[in-house]
Structure 1
Amino acid sequence: MDVPKGNADSADESITILFTHDLHDNFLPFEIDRGQGEVTVGGYARLHSAIQEQREKDPDALLVDAGDFAMGTLFQTIYQTDAPGLKMMGQMGYDVTTIGNHEFDFRAEGLARSLRAAKDSGEELPSIVASNTIFPTDEDGELPDNIKALKEAMNEYDVKDYMVIERKGIRIGILGLMGEEAAGNAPMSGVTFNNAIESAKSTVATLKNDEKVDLVIALSHSGTSEDPSQSEDELIAKKVPDIDVIISGHSHTTLEEPIIIGDTILGSAGEYGEHLGVLTISQNENDKWTVNNYELQLIDDSLPLDSEITKTIEEYKQVIQENYLRQFRMEFDEVLAYTPFDFTPFTELGIDQKEEPLGNLIGDSFVHTIQQLEGSEYEPIAAAVVPVGTIRNSFNKGNITVSNVFNVNSLGIGPDGISGYPLLDIYLTGKELKTVAEVDASITPIMNEVQLYIAGLSYTFNTNRLIFNKVTDISLQSQNGTKEEIDDKKLYRVVGGLYSVQMLPYVNEKSFGILSVVPKTKEGKPVTDFEDHIIYMNDHQEVKEWYAIANYMKSFEKVDGVAQVPAYYNQLKDRKVVVHDASIFAILKNPNGIILTAYGIVLAFVGILALLITYIVKRRKRKKGTAV
């Protein structure tokens, strides 16, 4: 194997590893609230300045990334044609990255096109390592066309299972891993992934025994968790002790101090390029690597803007304007509205089960935009479903631009092949509408990412009631607060994003077969192809989720020519009322059909048990009588 070398020849010096992960195309700075007011952080122009500073201290510093470099801002809209993330990483001098689950957001074909676009550019690019990716064959043993295209593109890019880099006379082996939870978040990738631990064991053995490396670094898109059983990168460290350093991506974790497991050093630098991780290590007398220095350098306005990176970003913005935004008649930095208040920060969304004004706004925007498009032919929408997992950002007090709105609902791609999930409609019975609310109440504590915000419904649930029987009151609710009883047998029109609505049939699986939701056509027949129900702006253009929000923003009342987000969205509207009543009466009152069935089973069991006990007692009495 060809081994890229550094400048120094001595092995006496320490090794510096600069690292990022979960950049998600955040080319531009953004604001965060650190409790003492908002500060501006991130942005590749300043990130590059930090990288240059570190490399002035150590020209042989290794610069790596642990995946999810793409998807999250308007820059993703040219992912397939221009590969801005990879090319920008090349310009900033990254040595190696790995592929995260979001690199598959546009499916295998999208990743293949992106890799080819990057390679065809002729620009400097980072190497890519992906150690546990598998290309499945069909029943005839052949690769499907989309997987064949991806495999060929990865070969052309020269994606490797691992690579070896030499710095300061030290051979460094680098592998890339996709964790189980991350792989589950790429259901449309078309590829599969070997178990990360088993793959790491095999690759590390090759690096140690065949490549004779001195230092092993895993770029792991697996993540950490407060639950030890779910903290995949910590489990990898325990099971594969010959890994010296794990750069942990996927969970967006910010580790102010490294996690040390045995002799393995685990670092994580947060998200979106807010920090540059800096890890300096050296070998001790036992040839084990130990930490000399670990820090997360904040990328803020104390750092200068690199002029070349800034120029490149502006060029990409122009490409986005021409190739994507123009068809929506919007501009990148166009101000859509002003909000006089902060919405719940993105980092706090979904942590608790509760109503969220941002979820209300998004759901209302879907209804408003469809009503506007359909005009006199508008058919009333009963509910608009917004899962917390599809919300990727929030709004801070101040101007809201097209770019800001896109960042809030940036996920996915439609059949039109362009960025953004489209809206679609299906029909549910009133009983199924109630079931959707019960799913939110009962399954969210198990899988927090499925928490729902549902415009058009008002429901109350008690967290202390039995699972699948938590909802105690539910009705239709108009935006002005008027409530209407739900007819269990009536079909109601429901809208949502393509991903969200496609997930509804999985209610049966997630509820162990107890609950059922079957999306239907207007005629009441089960939906067989969700793409047939996409809503269009014209003959060919899909209504994207983000566009509905942007369009709704424009409809707000204006002050000095600028639309103002109304105070309505700074308040709760009783769309989701959560109570925590532990009294026996509150827990047992108004049982639904599911729980009545369960009660019946329990009572039947108790009855059978009582009969059995009675029978045993009688037999014992008979035996005693016989003995006498």
Structure 2
Amino acid sequence: MKRKGMPGRLTALLLVLYLLAAFLPPPGKAVPAQKHRLTILFTHDLHSHFDPNKIVNEHDEVVLLGGLARLAAIVEREKATNPGRVLVVDAGDFSMGTLIHTLFRTEAAELRLMGKIGYDATTIGNHELDFDSSGLASMLTAAKASGDPLPRLVAANIGVKPDKANGSILKQALDSYPVEPYTVIERAGIRIGIFGLFGRSATRDLIWDEDILVENQVATAREIVKQLREKEKVDLIVCLSHGGTQTEGHSEDEILAEEVPEIDFIVSGHTHTILKQPIIKGNTIIGSAGCFGTHLGILKLDCQPGERPTLVSYHLEEVSPELTPVPAIAEEINRYKKIVDREFLAETGYTYDQVLAESDYNLESYVSMRENAVESGLGDLIADSFRAAVMKAEGEAGDYLHLAVHPLGEIRASLTAGNLEVDDVFQVLSLGQGIDRTIGYPLITCYLTGREIKNCLETQSTLAPVSSKYSLQVSGIRFEYNPNRVPFDRVYNIRISTPDGGYEPMEPDKLYRVCASYMTAVMLNKMGSMSYGIISATPKDKSGRPITDLTQALVDADPHRPGVQELKEWAALADYLAAQPDLDGNGIADLPTKYRQPEGRYRAVPSWNPVNILREATYITWGVLAGSVLILVLCTLGVRGIARRMRSRNKTIEV
């Protein structure tokens, strides 16, 4: 029986060998390297937005998008679907934007939660330095001391000035974490080099930069790419760039891709851009997923050693309410919110989710305000709240406060219809720290002459069209400007508030009391250099003496306590909202309807009429006019001289 089966087995064996031979490469031909499918999940500009965000959709409805517990659900899904083949990265500005960042220095909540979600790497954005270099150092130290899993931090072109006290402290923290120029991670059988870059625009946006050195990002990228290819033998290079992409132009990260074509994928942060389709420059892919964690970028690549990756798919997944939050992440977020209540809000009497007021309408969106750079209902609300807070703190003993100003660049969010909670309000004015190093910019008051106030208002007429962050939001003043006039001399018809509730023409040499944030006053000095000294104003006391130390101009929120209790921007807005009348009797204050749209506190009046061009003109316009006349006269004399010489030459030729 066994012998009868031999021919059948032999035939089967020969058939198998034949089939193998048919599919094997001929002698001398290399076997193609196996392709590996890699999934890269990416975010940027999270700005401490742990909870879902109130977003107004195209139907003017408020929807809740984002939330890191929901985002974590997508990460878990992708890792379960593609085990060992998922990379999770972020391109910086992971902090600063909600009440969570009040724990930045002590808890490092952002990095620790990112570690728990499963982020592999992130980089440093400009807002990680909002509490200066010592704040970043404290955060890195707290993160390391926690013992929690943390993402790797890569920053190739950031250095510190060791001769500065805070610089040496930061360097020690950077080395201890450690923050490195690049890192190498293996996924899906390939070696991935990841490095971080700090862009030019991010450098310009640094609030405190005394201790920081930023090297040229293109030159640095070339050097890092060479090390990754030649020394580390990586198969794929990912750049976490806090530089930016703009859908309408040739942006920083597009230039980076062109100048350093060896980069395979750039995660582009800083500009909050949403790229529904990637930008492709040569073999480099550029992706951006917006801000606040409302979307998670998902890039799928086919990779194999020795070759550039192949783009399989790219899309942004909305972090929607349909996603089930990961319980462990949701619990961690709630734990941090309780710490905020205990460590930061307790002194104010507020709690994280406390309802301050309600609104039956949406105010202008953050995006629309940045795009239009004009007066807004939200800006009117903020400026009014500053004046109200100062007058409330000082009582009848305080001097009359004529006006308040606030730049659009310091407004970080808007308010939507529904309940307005403490964190919603904090997000609107979330930036900075005070002289006392507590969270939030404090308010100051000082005196300026009418002439100096006009100089400041020229930021709206001349600088705001160039950069919306200079757009002014005002209270207690009215004015017009003609955009066709000479730059820095476009504002006229200025009327200023009076104690009886009216308005009167502003006098150039009279002193008026002004309220602004501490940072606005600091930025005024920078604007002076930007305008070649044209926009200049010297803070003064009510006697007209210059104030050389702005701490002397701080508003005391509670004069009955020893020392100065800084009156914070965000607290002024919160108190103002909570103090509004309850119109529907439900026990909650109602946002007045007057803020539904701008009140018309200033307006642009374009005109080429000579009367309007010269109306209330200053030396700037008259100087330009005189210069123009002089040039015209010289040109006329020159033309006449040339004509005389030509006539004389022609007569000579005729003779």
* Fold-level similarity (TM above 0.5): yes
1:611 corresponds to 2:646: no
* Structure 1 residues without counterparts, runs of 5 or longer: 1-9, 138-142
Matched, 1:118 2:143: yes
Q: Is the 8 A contact 2:235 2:304 kept in 1?
A: no
- 1-structure distance, mates of 2:116, 2:527: 45
- Equivalent position of 2:29 in the other structure: none
Does 1:58 pair with 2:120?
A: no
The counterpart of 2:256, out of the listed 236, 249, 252, is 236
CA distance in 1, matches of 2:337, 2:247: 39
Q: CA 1:414–1:222 in 2, change beyond 3 Å: closer, same or farther?
A: same
CA shift at 1:487, angstroms? 1.1
Note the aligned Cα RMSD (angstroms).
Answer: 2.0
Partner SS state of residue 364, structure 2 = coil
**Do 1:459 and 1:574's aligned partners in 2 also have CA atoms closer than 8 Å?**
no
Quick one: which of 444, 459, 470 aligns to 1:450?
Answer: 470
Aligned-pair CA distance for 1:623: 5.2
Q: 1:528 aligns with which of 548, 565, 587?
A: 548
Query: Residue 116 of structure 2 aligns with which residue?
Result: 91
SS in 2 for 1:608: helix
Q: Cα offset for 1:471?
A: 2.0
The 8 Å contact of residues 190 and 305 in structure 2, kept in 1 or not, is answered as no
Deviation at 1:405, TM superposition (A): 0.6
Structure 1 position 591, deviation (Å): 3.5
Cα distance in 1 for residues equivalent to 2:414 and 2:500:
24
Residue in structure 2 matched with residue 552 of structure 1 by the alignment: 576
How many Å separate the matches in 2 of 1:357 and 1:453? 9
Match of 1:202 among 223, 234, 241: 223
The C-alpha deviation readout for 1:226-260, integer Å capped at 9, x for no partner, is 4534x101110000000000001100111111111
Classify 1:461/1:132 alpha carbon distance in 2 versus 1 (closer, same or farther; 3 Å): same
Equivalent position amino acid for 1:52 in 2: E
- 2:66 is equivalent to residue 42 of structure 1: yes
User: Deviation per CA, 1:205-228, whole angstroms, max 9, x where unpaired?
Assistant: 111111111100000000012453
Rounded to whole Å, the distance in 1 between the matches of 2:312 and 2:586 is 57
Secondary structure of 2:105's aligned partner = helix
The residue number in structure 1 matching 2:494 is 474
Deviates more, 1:34-43 or 1:160-169: 34-43
Question: Is residue 574 from structure 1 mapped to residue 600 from structure 2 by the alignment?
Answer: yes
SS in 2 for 1:206: helix
Q: Distance in 2 between matches of 1:180 and 1:84?
A: 27
Q: Distance in 2 between matches of 1:11 and 1:91?
A: 32
- For 1:47 and 1:257, how far apart are their aligned partners in 2? 20
Q: Which residue of 1 aligns with 2:24?
A: none
Rounded to whole Å, the distance in 1 between the matches of 2:34 and 2:139 is 38
- The answer to whether structure 1 residue 128 and structure 2 residue 153 are counterparts is yes
The corresponding residue for 1:6 is none
Per the TM alignment, residue 582 of structure 1 is displaced from its structure 2 partner at its CA by: 5.2
User: SS of 2:358's equivalent?
Assistant: strand
**Which of 406, 412, 415 lines up with 1:386 in the alignment?**
406
Q: Partners of 1:276 and 1:127 in 2: how far apart?
A: 19
Do 1:456 and 1:479's aligned partners in 2 also have CA atoms closer than 8 Å?
no
Q: Which residue of 2 aligns with 1:304?
A: 324
**SS in structure 2 at match of 1:400:** strand
Q: How does 1:395-406 map to 2 (within 5 A)?
A: 395-406=415-426
Q: Which residue of 2 aligns with 1:181?
A: 201
**What does residue 47 of structure 2 align with?**
24
Alignment of 1:191-340 (within 5 A): 191-226=212-247, 228-229=249-250, 231-283=251-303, 287-340=307-360
How much does 1:495 deviate? 1.2
Q: Cα offset for 1:518?
A: 2.6
Q: CA deviation at 1:503?
A: 1.0
Question: What letter matches 1:98 in structure 2?
Answer: T
Scaled by the length of structure 1, what TM-score is found? Answer: 0.94
How big is the shift at 1:551? 0.9
1:456, distance to aligned residue in structure 2 (A): 1.4
Matched residue SS, 1:349:
helix
Code of the aligned partner of 1:115: L
Pairing 1:71-82 to 2, within 5 Å after superposition? 71-82=96-107
> Separation in 2 of the partners of 1:295 and 1:486?
55
Structure ID, larger Rg = 2
**CA distance change for structure 1 residues 518 and 284 in 2, over 3 Å: closer, same or farther?**
same
Task: Write out per-residue CA displacement over residues 82-104 of structure 1, whole angstroms, 9 at most, x where no aligned residue.
Answer: 00000000110111000100000
- SS of structure 1 residue aligned to 2:293: coil
Deviation at 1:401, TM superposition (A): 1.1
What are the Cα deviations for residues 432-474 of structure 1, in whole angstroms up to 9, with x where unaligned?
Answer: 1111112211111112211111211111122333322322322
What is the DSSP-based 3-state SS (H/G/I as helix, E as strand, rest coil) of the residue aligned with 1:350?
A: helix
**Deviation digits for residues 54-97 of structure 1 (CA, Å, limit 9, x no counterpart):** 11111220000000000000000010000000000011011100
In the alignment, the residues of structure 2 paired with residue 430 and residue 49 of structure 1 have an alpha-carbon distance, to the nearest angstrom, of 57
2:622 aligned residue: 596
Match status 1:348 vs 2:371? no
Using the TM superposition, name which of 618-627 and 358-367 deviates more.
Answer: 618-627
Moved more, 299-308 or 510-519: 510-519
Match of 2:503 in 1: 483
Q: Cα–Cα, structure 1 residues 308 and 565, in superposed 2: closer, same or farther, change >3 Å?
A: same
CA distance in 1, matches of 2:344, 2:192: 41
1:69 aligns with 2:69: no
Cα 1:29–1:353 shift into 2, 3 Å: closer
Q: How many residues align?
A: 613
Deviation, structure 1 residue 38: 2.1
| 1:309-367 Cα deviation digits (max 9, x unpaired) | 11111111111111100111111111111112110011211311422111111111111
Please name the residue that 1:519 is paired with.
539
The answer on whether the counterparts of 1:427 and 1:519 sit within 8 Å (CA) in structure 2 is: yes
Other structure's SS at 2:180 match:
coil
Instruction: For 2:425 and 2:137, locate their aligned partners in 1 and report how far apart those are by CA, in whole Å.
Output: 28
1:12 to 23, 35, 56: 35
Give the structure 2 partner of residue 33 of structure 1.
56
What one-letter code is carried by the residue in structure 2 that aligns with 1:35? E
SS at match of 1:379: coil
Q: CA deviation at 1:373?
A: 0.6
* Superposed CA offset, 1:530-569 (max 9, x none): 2332222232421110000011112211233211111121
Residue 4 of structure 1 corresponds to none
Distance 1:67 1:502 in 2: 26
Instruction: State which drifts further: 608-617 or 496-505.
Output: 608-617
How far does residue 588 in structure 1 lie from its aligned partner after superposition?
5.4
Question: Residue 585 of structure 1: CA displacement?
Answer: 5.6
- Post-superposition CA distance 1:411-436 (Å, at most 9, x none): 00112122111111222110111111
Task: Judge conservation of contact 2:41–2:296 (CA < 8 Å) in 1.
Answer: yes
8 Å CA contact 2:299–2:313 kept in 1: the answer is yes
Q: Deviations over 1:480-501 (max 9, x none)?
A: 9722111100111111111111
CA distance in 1, matches of 2:634, 2:143: 70
Residue deviations 1:105-156 (CA, integer Å, cap 9, x gap): 000000000000010011111110000012124xxxxx21101111101111
Given the superposition, is the C-alpha separation of residues 573 and 511 from structure 1 closer, same or farther in structure 2, using an over 3 Å criterion? same
Change (3 A) 1:570 1:187: closer
Please list every run of 5 or more consecutive structure 2 residues that lacks an aligned counterpart in the other structure: 1-32
Indicate the residue corresponding to 2:13 in structure 1.
Answer: none
C-alpha spacing 1:184/1:255, structure 2 compared with 1 (3 Å): same
Counterpart in the other structure of 1:368: 388
After TM superposition, give the deviation of residue 589 of structure 1 in Å. 5.0
Cα pair 2:36 2:303 within 8 Å, conserved: no
In the superposition, relative to structure 1, how do residues 478 and 290 fare at CA in structure 2: closer, same or farther (>3 Å)?
A: farther
